[in-house]
Amino acid sequence: MVKVITYGTFDLFHEGHYRLLQRAKALGDYLIVGVTTEGFDKNRGKLGVVDSLVTRIENVKNTGFADEIIVEEYVGQKFSDVQRYNVDIFAIGSDWVGKFDYLNDYCKVVYLERTKNISSTTLRKTKYHVYRVGIIGNGRIANRFIPEAKFVSGVNVQSVYNPHFESAKLFADKWDINAYDNLDKFYDSVDLVYIASPHNTHYEYAKSALEHGKHVLCEKPLVLHKSQSEELFKYAEQKNWGGRLILFEGIKTAYCPGFQKLLGVARSGKIGNIRNVEACFTKLENKNNRELTDTKYGGSFLELGSYVLLPILKIFGTEFDSVDFSTINADNGLDIFTKAFFKFPNGMATATCGLGVKSEGKLLISGTEGYIVVEPPWWKTNYFEVHYEDSTRVEKYNEVFLDDGLRYELSDLVACLNGIDDTGFKLTDKESIAMSSIMEKFLAR
């Protein structure tokens, strides 16, 4: 008897899950299915699981493919299970290629091709939807997005668009998704669009995606002009047919749990009234990269400004009295180091960023009773300290930040869409509009 084992969360059970179980069963005579517990999913960083363990087990059972169902509770359990159950074949979807090769010493590991397309009609029947996600642009960030999206329940990344088909195709083949160079066809294949194309193309793509009734997660900076962001948010609101059309600016820091905790502590009164915020983010970029060669839309402020503006606007709000910029420029005119100095009615702030000058990269929030310091990479907030006049008194806060952190914004957007949680407060329309207005001021200086 050939024994096969497979594992999964099987949340919002769909045809991808069904086909996986069907083919896993066909590999042998007896199929064991491991269904993850909530605790295990939390530990491995899977976000937004909505169905209970009982429902997920029930859905697996209803397929009729499983001869035995077990629960997966801890990291390392697969290693024990394949030995305990005398498993011959470990099967899992191709989105995990290579990840379970270590089990080859104990059984045969088979990666079954993942189901690219989840049809929208079957999914609409459930209370919560599985959203079909498409990516516009296939550069570095898009390559980081796909592994992150695997850890968000309720989404299936299935399409990529690039006007240059060859480029889209290479990316699509790498990630087992569909390639498009026709925008209308691309929109037809998805519910939610992640815009990861160059900054200057965000506005047109975001607008056309909304016009096609698609929800949008757009990489930062959303746009570079205030009127454009105002128009986009207004448009998303008007296009509020039936459900809600959502537009999120993807500044990952805003959505990560550590940064939320930091804001909570900062605003709790622990450090008194906040009077100064200093946010610094620098990285030395390769001189041949777009960030330092695109003389119109490159430079440190357009690239990193969204991160350093975020804590400032979150703490002092969007109504500043003035902003002044100082820059150090490269020979091609692009800023390689920029300081933006803000005056607010009750405080001041500096936003510093650099691609050609290295600095310490801290976030410092000073108040009338004490200060908060977050060491780099504070934009992936996982640890911060609160200090007081008495230098021996230090409070320490920890929080997880998983891998690239893009899963947080995506899972918040899905929670918002499903009406489970209204997470839009983490980065409001008003804050995104203020950021685009600051970008505009910077470009006009």
Chain contacts with ligand C2G (rule: CB under 6 A): 7-11, 16-17, 20, 36, 46, 72, 92-93, 95-96, 114-115, 118, 156
**Contact indicator for 370, 377 with CB cutoff of 8 Å:** no
Residues 415, 409: Cα–Cα separation, whole Å: 10
- The residue among 20 and 246 lying less far from ligand C2G, judged by its C-beta, is 20
- The residue among 7 and 379 lying less far from ligand C2G, judged by its C-beta, is 7
- The residue among 48 and 305 lying less far from ligand C2G, judged by its C-beta, is 48
Q: How far is the CB of 421 from ligand C2G (least distance, A)?
A: 20
Closest CA to 271 of 371, 379, 151, 169: 371
Closest CA to 427 of 302, 349, 313: 313
Q: How many Å separate Cα 360 from the centre of its chain?
A: 26
DSSP class of 119: -
Q: How far is the CB of 405 from ligand C2G (least distance, A)?
A: 18
* Enclosing H/E stretch for 213: none
Q: How far is the CB of 66 from ligand C2G (least distance, A)?
A: 13
Q: How far is the CB of 397 from ligand C2G (least distance, A)?
A: 29
Q: How far is the CB of 138 from ligand C2G (least distance, A)?
A: 19
- The residue among 15 and 230 lying less far from ligand C2G, judged by its C-beta, is 15
Place of tokens 């804001």: 263
**Contact indicator for 231, 223 with CB cutoff of 8 Å:** no
Q: Which residue is nearest to ligand C2G (CB)?
A: 93
Q: How far is the CB of 27 from ligand C2G (least distance, A)?
A: 13
Query: Backbone dihedral region of 30: left (phi > 0), alpha (psi from -120 to 50 degrees) or beta?
Result: beta
- Bridge partners, residue 136, by sequence: 161, 195
- The residue among 8 and 354 lying less far from ligand C2G, judged by its C-beta, is 8
Helices (H), 239-373: 252-255, 257-267, 290-293, 300-316
